[in-house]
Structure 1
Amino acid sequence: MTDEPGLFKAPPIAEQERMVEALLFATADPMTPAQLAGRMPHGCDPASALAGLRKRYDGRGVQLVRVGDAWAMRTAPDLGYLMSHEVTETRKLSRAAIETLAIIAYHQPTTRAEIEEIRGVSVSRGTIDQLIELDWVRLGRRRMTPGRPVTFIVTQTFLDHFGLESARDLPGLKELRSAGLLDNRPSPGAEPEEDDGQEQLFGD
């Protein structure tokens, strides 16, 4: 039996780019190359299609951006102000939650004990639960130490919300302090601060 030529031949790269473009526009969540490959015909190369698509959208009002290991179509940063009335979202967190989130982001993977050591006060379960419910923090691998404590890391949703490609793109310590996130931390032995005061995450 003679094999039909081109029976399993992948579509041209231009067509693959169109497929990737359609998939990313159809979902609000970033997609990884593996997820794209699972939707595309056999033999497609999502990585090459993404590279070509990113170049094609460079300088446009909508851009292809990387979010962790995934990709998404997003409004160009300099045009974000046009959408502010549609995408403004208030997320109020206590100072304890803000500091806990910042510590996890900068020291991940980190344990509850390590968070408490840095903050100088205990961390309530409700604080971490709130961050998990927001899908900004998730459980990481357990440490191979006595008790095998669980670790915490930030999520892809957290990176996407703040326009970060990875945790390496987080602002420096000086910038965090100027934003009012890490200043006035209580010293060991100080009275625990109240979790009732509300602060705007990464706000002034």
Structure 2
Amino acid sequence: MDDLTRAVEAALFAAEAPMTTDQLAALLNGAAVLPALHALVDDYAERGVHLVERGGRWQFQTAPDLAHLLRRTREQPRRLSRAATEVLAIIAYHEPVSRAQIEAIRGVQTAKGTLDVLLEAGWVRVAGRRDVPGRPVIYATTADFLSHFGLASRRDLPGIDELRAAGLLDPVDEAFEALARGEEADEQGALEKGGESA
């Protein structure tokens, strides 16, 4: 292992929070740290800790197959209400998004406390203001959100098919989809019968 790779490793171990490549480079006098980071990823691949990138920030974390050993000592339970979970999902999939857009998607008004919980958790941040009349605040997810859920980027969020396979879609939604498909089939059948009698 060369001196630069060792220095990057030491900097990440000593850091109080995950670091970006720019932060590491600044700490190490402008060195090109990306090759060293990739070398460390390979070096730690079979160890009890892995070097991972989450939202553009680098950190060491427990290997996934060993996480259960430390869960009791480290895990801090955080129960989100159904409303907070829905709002978090909407922000993650549609960011940047305003409160009015969140309410339009959910179909109900969102309490201010719901967004406050997500902001305090560090999973959501104010991303600015939309350039429309009233200049509403817009929200986006944070690097802590990605880190907590083990995502390198928002592109790693599960798609609709993965959610359905995991049983995470509301059965009511699936029933409505089936009903809609059935109605479409009935209409098609009626059109075909009408065409035969004409």
TM over 0.5: same fold? yes
Query: Which residue of 1 is the match for residue 101 of structure 2?
Result: 114
Higher helix share: 2
Q: Distance in 1 between matches of 2:77 and 2:167?
A: 17
Q: Distance in 2 between matches of 1:27 and 1:181?
A: 39
Q: Tell me the alpha carbon deviations over residues 112-154 of structure 1, each in whole angstroms, 9 at most, x when there is no partner.
A: 0110001000011111011000101001132222222221001
1:54 aligns with 2:44: no
Q: Distance in 2 between matches of 1:135 and 1:184?
A: 31
Q: Name which one, 1 or 2, has greater alpha-carbon Rg.
A: 2
Q: TM-score w.r.t. structure 1 length?
A: 0.77
Work out the number of aligned pairs and report it: 172
Q: Which runs of 5+ in 1 are unaligned?
A: 1-12, 186-204
1:23 aligns with 2:11: yes
Cα distance, 1:172 vs structure 2: 2.2
Query: Which residue of 2 is the match for residue 14 of structure 1?
Result: 2
Q: Distance in 1 between matches of 2:150 and 2:127?
A: 22
After superposition, residues 10-159 of structure 1 pair within 5 angstroms as: 14-40=2-28, 42-159=29-146
Shift in alpha-carbon separation, 1:162–1:126, aligned structure 2, 3 A: same
Q: Tell me the alpha carbon deviations over residues 30-84 of structure 1, each in whole angstroms, 9 at most, x when there is no partner.
A: 10011112211x3421112112111211222211101111111111112211212
Q: Which runs of 5+ in 2 are unaligned?
A: 174-198
Where 2:2 maps in the other structure, the secondary structure is: helix
Shift in alpha-carbon separation, 1:182–1:37, aligned structure 2, 3 A: farther
Q: Which has the higher contact order (CA 8 A, sep 6+)?
A: 1
Q: Distance in 2 between matches of 1:43 and 1:123?
A: 46
Cα distance, 1:87 vs structure 2: 2.1
Answer whether contact 1:20 1:36 (CA < 8 A) is retained.
Answer: yes
Answer whether contact 1:99 1:181 (CA < 8 A) is retained.
Answer: no
Query: Which residue of 2 is the match for residue 192 of structure 1?
Result: none
Shift in alpha-carbon separation, 1:117–1:43, aligned structure 2, 3 A: closer
Q: Distance in 2 between matches of 1:171 and 1:182?
A: 15
Shift in alpha-carbon separation, 1:183–1:176, aligned structure 2, 3 A: farther
Q: Distance in 1 between matches of 2:84 and 2:171?
A: 14
Which range moves more in the overlay, 167-176 or 17-26? 167-176
Letter aligned with residue 120 of structure 2: E
- What is the aligned-residue identity percentage? 50
Shift in alpha-carbon separation, 1:112–1:77, aligned structure 2, 3 A: same
Letter aligned with residue 17 of structure 2: D
Answer whether contact 1:21 1:53 (CA < 8 A) is retained.
Answer: yes
Q: Name the Cα RMSD after superposition.
A: 2.0
